[in-house]
Amino acid sequence: MTYSFLRLAAEALRGQTGWTPAWRDPEPKAEYDALVVGGGGHGLATAYYLAREHGITNVAVLEKGWIGSGNAGRNTTIIRSNYLLPGNEAFYEHSMKLWEGLEQDLNYNAMVSQRGVLNLVNSDAARDAAARRGNAMRLHGVDAELLDADGVRAMVPYLDFDNARFPIKGGLLQRRGGTARHDAVVWGFARAADRRGVDIVQNCEVTGIRVSNGRVMGVETTRGFIGAGKVGLAVAGNSSRLAGMAGMRLPIESHVLQAFVSEAIKPLIDCVITFGAGHFYISQSDKGGLVFGGDIDGYNSYAQRGGLPLVEDVMEAFMALLPLAGRLRVLRSWGGIMDMSMDGSPIIDRSPIEGLYLNTGWCYGGFKATPASGWCFAWTMAKDEAHPLNAAMRLDRFASGALIDEKGAGPYPNKH
Amino acid sequence: MLLIPCPFCGPRPEIEFVYGGEAHIARPADPSALDDAAWAAFLHTRSNPRGRHAERWRHLHGCARFFNVVRDTVTDRFAEHEAGG
């Protein structure tokens, strides 16, 4: 069923009784051409682009829970392409361009809102770094503006500009950045993939990967064995576990990242603001809640909940940036498990096992990458080689030394 | 808040500690004898288990000593600990 104004009007007249489920709930078949493990944004986007770009429609997405139950429903919904390094910037800009056309493409309202992403700078050194990054972006044809303190004050006058510890000296603004509705993104991809014949199989946990003579044969699941010549893993924080089922060890650590939402207030923040000095980012949802987050807790974790020391740290940053936070109440907090890679950049690549592909290492920047990650992973799975956009996101870069260390932090996954 | 059992000071709150990552990863005695894959495995590859994880902590704001401990990465329960690094 195609969604349109006419359909909406027709349904309004007959009491909304004609809507059908957005996607089918099929029994898994015994054999597929390709399997995608993980029904999050990246997995669903992969299946969608496999069908749309490469004509591979005999595909299933296997999800252990339900669509939107993992990190797809736990992020802070920010989209941007303000990266420095050549291996990253072209990829994230491709993602930004896909976001810009996504809703028409999927026939689904993902509420993509290009409200601007403003990275504040609090010191002369930070301004130099922001100028350098902005220039790198513009060399890649991406919009970037360096604002002085007055420019920032005109946009967001309610910040604590004269904070004694972190005075606001300016900011790097990407106007095309913004937010998207995270649940709608996965629902839209699931529906669009389903319409092209992809089976979305929920409540189907992969318990083993069958490999024979160095080739993948399929996966064992809680709903029986499913055969496939190509298997792509897009399982975020569970990447090490799934790769372990095929006998591989990855340069990944799983860490918990918390996010928060305040009670709903009247419109206040009309862009995304990030505060590098305290590592804090905030935007306002359409319902009015302030959505914000900070660092990971810093130790290996598979628990989808974090600890109070980090909560205190995030609230301190919030107060330092926006003293009005002291009058707000926090509505909810939650945690998601991040696949922290050793250089802070992702891996979209073949694995040493023929027919098994890896999509991992997103750290806590996976949401914005959703369309391009699926697009590039589909390309890699269909053609058995990387697209130029993900050519640098190789698994063997950790041995070759060609790391993509955006932050220059070294091999410490809890520092990215 | 993790309550971390320092073998020298007893259980202390998480904020006194610095995390040191997976335990029992010894720097190779002769790095130049290793090929790139083996060096990368030492530097970057981790077990990252869901469940029991042997890890290092340093009680920086206490006795400042390193120690190893086994923690469950799902329940955050500490199982056992040993001195040394």
pLDDT tens-digit map of B6-24: 999 999 999 999 999 999 9
Residues A88-101: what's their mean pLDDT?
A: 98
Q: For residue A414, what pLDDT is reported?
A: 75
Contacts of B50 in chain A (CB under 8 A): 238, 241, 254, 302
Q: Is there a domain that residue B54 lies in?
A: yes
Residues A219-243: what's their mean pLDDT?
A: 98
**Predicted confidence (pLDDT) at residue B80 exceeds the cutoff of 70:** no
Q: Is there a domain that residue B33 lies in?
A: no
**Predicted confidence (pLDDT) at residue B42 exceeds the cutoff of 50:** yes
Residues A190-217: what's their mean pLDDT?
A: 98
Whether the CB of B36 is below 8 Å from some CB of chain A: the reply is yes
Q: Give the CATH class of A5-78+182-250+343-415.
A: alpha beta
Q: Is there a domain that residue B32 lies in?
A: no
Q: For residue A408, what pLDDT is reported?
A: 80
Question: What mean pLDDT, rounded, does chain A reach?
Answer: 96
Task: Express as a percent the part of chain A with pLDDT over 90.
Answer: 95
Please state the domain extents for chain A: 5-78+182-250+343-415, 114-177+253-341
Nearest CA in chain A to B51: A302
The pTM of this model reads 0.96
**Using DSSP, how many helices (H) and how many strands (E) does chain B show?**
1, 6
Structure tokens at A159: 């910040």
- Which residue segment(s) compose the domain that B21 sits in? 3-25+40-83
pLDDT tens-digit map of A351-388: 999 999 999 999 989 999 999 999 999 999 999 999 99
Residues 6 or more apart whose Cβ sits within 8 Å of residue A273: A118, A120, A156, A159, A281, A282, A283, A321
Sequence letter at residue B9: C
CA distance A251 to chain B (A): 4
pLDDT tens-digit map of A285-339: 999 999 999 999 999 999 999 999 999 999 999 999 999 999 999 999 999 999 9
Determine the Cα–Cα distance for residues B63 and A373; give it in Å rounded to an integer: 46
Total domains in chain B come to 1
**Predicted confidence (pLDDT) at residue A416 exceeds the cutoff of 80:** no
Q: Is there a domain that residue B65 lies in?
A: yes
**Predicted confidence (pLDDT) at residue A160 exceeds the cutoff of 90:** yes
Is the CB of A250 less than 8 angstroms away from the CB of B14?
A: no
Q: For residue A412, what pLDDT is reported?
A: 81
**Using DSSP, how many helices (H) and how many strands (E) does chain A show?**
10, 18
Residue A274 and residue A117 in contact, taking contact as beta carbons nearer than 8 Å: yes
Is the CB of B55 less than 8 angstroms away from the CB of A299?
A: yes
pLDDT tens-digit map of A39-48: 999 999 999 9
Report residue A278's pLDDT band, with 50, 70 and 90 as the boundaries.
confident
Determine the Cα–Cα distance for residues B2 and A407; give it in Å rounded to an integer: 28
Closest residue by Cα to residue A237 from A228, A219, A250, A221: A250
**Predicted confidence (pLDDT) at residue A9 exceeds the cutoff of 70:** yes
The CATH number of residue B11's host domain is 3.30.2270.10
Residue B27, H or E segment: none
Nearest CA in chain A to B23: A300
Nearest CA in chain B to A308: B1
Determine the Cα–Cα distance for residues A217 and A231; give it in Å rounded to an integer: 9
Domain A114-177+253-341 bears CATH identifier 3.30.9.10: yes
